[in-house]
């Protein structure tokens, strides 16, 4: 696979930066054709949460006050789980996948023998992480719609919003992975992801958090993804949506830039 990539990269990318990154994206897509079950398995967790909340726990809670109106609890949680799906899809490849190729398979060392550079590797890997997150988001959105948890035509923008979440976590995850030295470091990834999942206003409105905690929650990337998707799926889109978009784009772009610089140092030293 690596040799095939090297030959194809030499053959047709020329000086186009995004064309060079696209070759790495294509390589990842080719690998996953024979590992499709890995993609499918990653969809299970958020879908199980959605089913348990919609069928069981949601009926016990009933509804809650959000943005000045009564909202079914299942409808409130569904966009948060959609954001979580996009995050999970992106973070898996941006961390475990990139580290395996960087540390053990030595894919990137072979790639650098082609016109593809370290910056192209960073862009290509983040693009693939973003795509995987989008795949998860599409599947989740279809199920949530079938469950009757989507109530606004603004939800048509949910997939572009999920793409921004994938960009954010793909960029940050790839950048963080370049600092990791062993598999034990991945305990820190889980230590970061679990609190994000539980405390990014995922299951409770932001107003229920103590004032001292609320501003910390508002600084987290998953919160901005959850808040953006909640506006789109519940139909309460406001100007704050632009702030959420800007946050996700800026943090994702910063992650890509750091990842590119770190890969250059690690691969070209």
pLDDT of residue 42: 64
Q: Are 146 and 51 in contact (CB under 8 A)?
A: no
Look-up of token digits 């053990």: 104
Pair 124, 17: CB distance under 8 Å: no
Taking every pair of Cα atoms in the chain, the longest distance, rounded to a whole number of angstroms, is 60
Q: Which residues form the domain of 226?
A: 2-267
CA–CA separation, 256 and 3 (whole Å) = 26
Q: State the Cα–Cα distance between residues 227 and 54, nearest whole angstrom.
A: 20
* Phi, then psi, of 25 in degrees rounded to 5: -60, -45
- How many domains are there within the chain? 1
Q: What pLDDT sits at residue 267? A: 82
Asked whether the beta carbons of 140 and 224 are under 8 A apart, the reply is no
pLDDT at 36: 64
pLDDT tens across the length of the chain (269 residues): 444 444 344 434 444 556 777 877 888 777 777 666 666 666 676 777 777 776 677 677 778 888 778 888 888 999 999 999 899 889 988 998 899 888 888 888 888 888 888 889 999 999 999 888 888 888 888 888 888 888 888 888 999 999 999 999 999 999 999 999 888 888 888 888 999 998 999 988 898 899 889 999 999 999 999 999 999 998 888 899 999 999 999 999 999 999 999 998 888 76
CA distances from 33 to 21, 38, 43, 74 (A): 19, 10, 17, 34
pTM: 0.86
């Amino acid at each position: 696979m690596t040799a095939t990539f090297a030959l194809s990269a030499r053959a047709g990318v020329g000086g186009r930066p995004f064309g060079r990154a696209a070759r790495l994206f294509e390589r990842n897509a080719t690998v996953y054709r024979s590992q499709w079950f890995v993609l499918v398995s990653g969809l299970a967790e958020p879908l199980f949460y959605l089913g348990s909340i919609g069928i069981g726990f949601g009926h016990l809670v009933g509804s809650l006050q959000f943005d000045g109106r009564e909202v079914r609890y299942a409808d409130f949680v569904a966009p948060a789980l959609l954001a979580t799906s996009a995050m999970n899809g992106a973070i898996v490849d941006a961390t475990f996948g990139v580290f395996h190729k960087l540390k053990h398979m030595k894919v990137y060392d072979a790639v650098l023998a082609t016109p593809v550079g370290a910056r192209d590797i960073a862009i290509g890997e983040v693009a693939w992480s973003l795509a995987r997150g989008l795949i998860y988001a599409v599947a989740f959105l279809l199920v949530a719609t079938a469950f009757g948890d989507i109530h606004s035509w603004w939800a048509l923008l949910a997939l572009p919003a999920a793409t921004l979440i994938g960009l954010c976590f793909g960029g940050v995850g790839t950048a963080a992975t370049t600092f990791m030295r062993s598999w034990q470091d991945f305990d820190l990834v889980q230590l970061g992801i679990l609190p994000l999942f539980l405390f990014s206003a995922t299951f409770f409105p932001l107003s229920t958090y103590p004032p001292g905690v609320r501003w910390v929650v508002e600084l987290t990337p998953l919160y901005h993804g959850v808040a953006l998707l909640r506006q789109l799926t519940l139909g309460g889109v406001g100007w704050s949506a632009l702030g959420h978009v800007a946050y996700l784009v800026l943090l994702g772009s910063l992650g890509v830039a750091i990842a590119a610089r770190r890969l250059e140092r690690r691969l070209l030293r």
